[in-house]
Structure formats: structure tokens, C-alpha cells
């Protein structure tokens, strides 16, 4: 009798429909189906492994996820410390601020008459609408706050902490910015100029000379020093974009100054882009290894799917499976109240890199 191939060991298990399955039970069954369903189940397992290990977990957030209704999932991840540091596009933070100020996004249609929307001052994000007048008010609100600060350069991490504090004091409402402020979780926004927050900062400079100065190079130094301080890291990326590369380049930049840094130990990405067009958003995690962004032994998975479909399922499953791990987790402790943040009591400079010599390791 011919010996069974080593490749034919674990059979696919057809998904059996049962009433009352919880999200974690659904994902457990999906571990034995195929394609992106199995990848999503693997993402759940890898995230749990991150929480069991002593790693600093970065979350990257791109796309229109806040406008699309996912902002309170991200706020939950921050508040409960599923993640330790957020890197976001400015748009996601702006749309979060919009709703935290008590305004809304509205269900719309991708087939709308956009000329008619423009006539009524309605902005469209695919199938979601928002008021242009409310956005203008947001820009002025940001500008007034930025103009009230001493006119000097601010890293985006420092500015967004101050903005989150002002937003919390003003509204007392939950959101990404306010959750990060209350949990002392740093937020970086490397492309802040490419957003309505950047527009608000530019309007602040119109009000007060020298206001609205964002030190994005300081962000690079600070994020790399964060990795140097805690070289064991993990990356979770929603939607690719600038946040994905910023998280990865923090590891690469840190390795330039510290031999302890060898790339992220864990990586999960949920993206709709594909690798064969060469863009960073769709690039594979295997490609990231060639740059030293991921450890050669990293646990990793790519889920090529719309985050608005998979993130509610993943978050609901984690809400069941993660709490015991969160209770035991030795998470990094940040202080963010000054221009120089600290992690576990150690300063994280934003002006010069912390060099670690080979002989000191």
C-alpha cells in the first residue's frame, strides 16, 4: 500500500451551521476551512499569542475605518490594552473627533448624484455621508485649540495626546483620541499634513504665527527609540497605507542603532490591496522580512479582506478569549504628559537615537 503523502495530513472540516455559536467558536471552526476564512482564524490565534508574550503591540489604521463605523472597536482595543501604540492616518483621527464632538456620519449610497450632494454641502465617503458645515466647524475647533498652545514644534504623538485631553475635557465621550488619552497610549500620525487635522493646524498658523508646527521627524526618532527600549515588538495593520510602513520603518531604524532589534516577532495585516502591483499597502509580510521589518521566525498572517467585514468578528472573538491574557499581561507603561515621553520609566527622546553598542548587548 502506498504511503500517504506528508502533504495530506490535516483534512478540511466543512463548516457545520449551529445556532448560538459565539464569534470565538465560529473562528475556531474556521481554522479548518480554507482561504481568507482560515487566515482570519489564524489572525485571532496570533493576536492571542502577542498578548501572552512580552511584546509591544503596534496597531496601524488606514482607510476610512472611523467614518465606516469601526472607531469604537479601535477605542476598545486601546482602552483594554489589546494594543500599546496606535499609528493612524489623520483622516481616521479626524472622523473620530467629528463623532466624539457629537456629530454623525450617515448611511448613503455609492451611486448618489455627487453634484446634488455638493449643492447641499454633503461630503461622501463611498456609501457614507457627512456635513461639510460640520467639517468646517471641526477645522476651526482644531485650529483654535492648536493656536492656544505655546508656539513651538510638537511631535504628532505629543500634539495628539494634548488634543485627546482637550477633547475628553470638552465632551467626556468615548472615542479613539479620548481612549488613548485616558489609557496613556501614544498615537503617531506620520502623514498628519495629509488630513483635515493638518488643515486645522494650517489655520492655527494663520491665527498665531508659529502655531501648528508638527515635528514628524521627531516622530521617527521617538518611535525608533521606543523600539530600542523594548526591542520585542508586534505589528497589527488595518488597511496598509502610511501607518503600515511607519510601524515597520521604526523597527528598521531602531536596528540601525541597536543590534537587539531584529524585526517584529508577530505580524497580522488585514488589507484589500495585493502585492503584485508593487505598492507598500499590499506588500506581503514575507517581503517585509527582506527589509528586516519582520523577524525571520515571526508568526505572521495576511487576511486579504475588507476590515469592515472581518474586524467586528475578530474583535467579538477576542472579547471572549483575550480577557484572561489581558489580566496577566505585562504591558508597557507610558507617561505622555511632557514633550519627552517615557516607557516603563525610561525616557524616549525625540531628538537623538539611543545608541546601543554591540559590546553592550
pLDDT tens, position by position, 199-222: 999 999 999 999 999 999 999 999
Residues 61, 335 contacting (CB under 8 angstroms):
no
Q: What is the pLDDT of residue 357?
A: 61
Question: In this structure, what DSSP letter does residue 359 have?
Answer: G
Alpha carbon 289 to its chain centroid, in Å, reads: 20
Catalytic residue positions, numbered: 293
DSSP output for 24-66: HHHHHHHTTS-HHHHHHHHHHHHHHHHHHS--EEEEEE-SSTT
Share of the chain above pLDDT 90, in %: 91
Stretch 83-100: mean pLDDT, rounded? Answer: 98
- Hey, what domains does the chain have and what are their CATH numbers? 23-352 (3.40.910.10)
Cell numbers 526591542 correspond to what residue?
A: 231
CB 303 within 8 A of CB 268: yes
- Per-residue confidence at 3, pLDDT binned at 50, 70, 90? confident
- pLDDT score at 358: 54
pLDDT value for 360: 47
Sheet holding 128-131, edge to edge: 106-107, 128-131, 122-125
115-145 tens-digit pLDDT = 999 999 999 999 999 999 999 999 999 999 9
Compute the distance between CA of residue 69 and CA of residue 81 in angstroms, rounded to an integer.
Answer: 20
Residue-wise pLDDT tens digits, 172-191: 999 999 999 999 999 999 99
For residue 271, count other CB atoms closer than 10 A to its CB: 24
86, β-bridge pairs: 59, 187
Q: Give per-residue pLDDT as tens, 312-354.
A: 999 999 999 999 999 999 999 999 999 999 999 999 999 999 9
Amino acid at each position: 500500500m502506498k504511503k500517504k503523502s506528508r502533504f495530506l495530513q490535516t483534512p478540511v472540516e466543512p463548516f457545520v451551521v449551529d445556532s448560538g455559536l459565539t464569534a470565538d467558536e465560529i473562528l475556531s471552526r474556521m481554522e479548518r476551512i480554507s482561504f481568507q476564512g482560515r487566515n482570519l482564524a489564524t489572525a485571532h490565534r496570533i493576536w492571542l499569542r502577542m498578548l501572552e508574550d512580552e511584546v509591544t503591540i503596534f496597531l496601524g489604521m488606514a482607510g476610512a475605518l472611523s467614518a465606516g463605523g469601526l472607531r469604537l472597536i479601535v477605542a476598545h482595543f486601546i482602552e483594554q490594552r489589546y494594543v500599546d501604540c496606535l499609528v493612524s492616518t489623520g483622516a481616521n483621527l479626524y472622523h473620530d473627533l467629528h463623532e466624539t464632538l457629537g456629530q454623525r456620519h450617515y448611511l448613503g449610497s455609492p451611486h448618489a448624484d455627487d453634484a446634488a450632494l455638493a449643492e447641499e454641502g454633503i461630503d461622501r465617503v463611498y456609501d457614507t455621508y457627512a456635513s461639510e458645515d460640520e467639517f468646517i466647524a471641526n477645522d476651526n475647533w482644531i485650529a483654535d485649540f492648536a493656536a492656544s498652545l505655546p508656539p513651538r514644534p510638537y511631535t504628532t504623538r505629543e500634539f495628539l495626546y494634548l488634543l485627546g485631553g482637550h477633547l475628553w475635557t470638552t465632551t467626556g465621550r468615548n472615542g479613539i483620541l479620548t481612549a488613548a488619552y485616558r489609557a496613556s497610549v501614544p498615537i503617531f500620525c506620520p502623514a498628519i499634513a495629509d488630513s483635515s487635522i493638518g488643515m486645522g493646524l494650517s489655520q492655527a498658523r494663520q491665527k498665531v504665527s508659529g502655531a501648528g508646527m508638527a515635528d514628524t521627524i521627531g516622530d521617527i526618532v521617538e518611535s525608533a527609540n521606543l523600539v530600542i527600549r523594548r526591542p520585542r515588538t508586534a505589528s497589527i495593520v488595518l488597511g496598509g497605507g502610511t501607518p503600515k510602513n511607519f510601524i515597520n520603518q521604526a523597527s528598521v531604524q531602531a536596528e540601525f542603532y541597536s543590534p537587539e532589534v531584529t524585526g517584529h516577532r508577530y505580524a497580522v495585516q488585514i488589507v484589500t490591496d495585493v502585492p503584485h502591483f508593487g505598492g507598500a499597502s499590499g506588500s506581503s509580510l514575507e517581503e517585509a522580512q527582506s527589509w528586516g521589518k519582520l523577524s525571520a521566525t515571526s508568526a505572521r498572517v495576511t487576511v486579504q479582506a475588507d476590515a469592515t467585514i472581518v474586524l467586528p468578528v475578530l474583535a467579538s472573538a477576542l472579547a471572549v478569549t483575550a480577557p484572561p491574557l489581558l489580566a496577566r499581561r505585562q504591558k508597557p507603561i507610558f507617561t505622555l504628559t511632557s514633550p519627552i515621553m517615557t516607557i516603563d520609566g525610561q525616557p524616549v527622546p525625540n531628538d537623538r537615537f539611543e545608541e546601543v553598542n554591540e559590546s553592550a548587548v
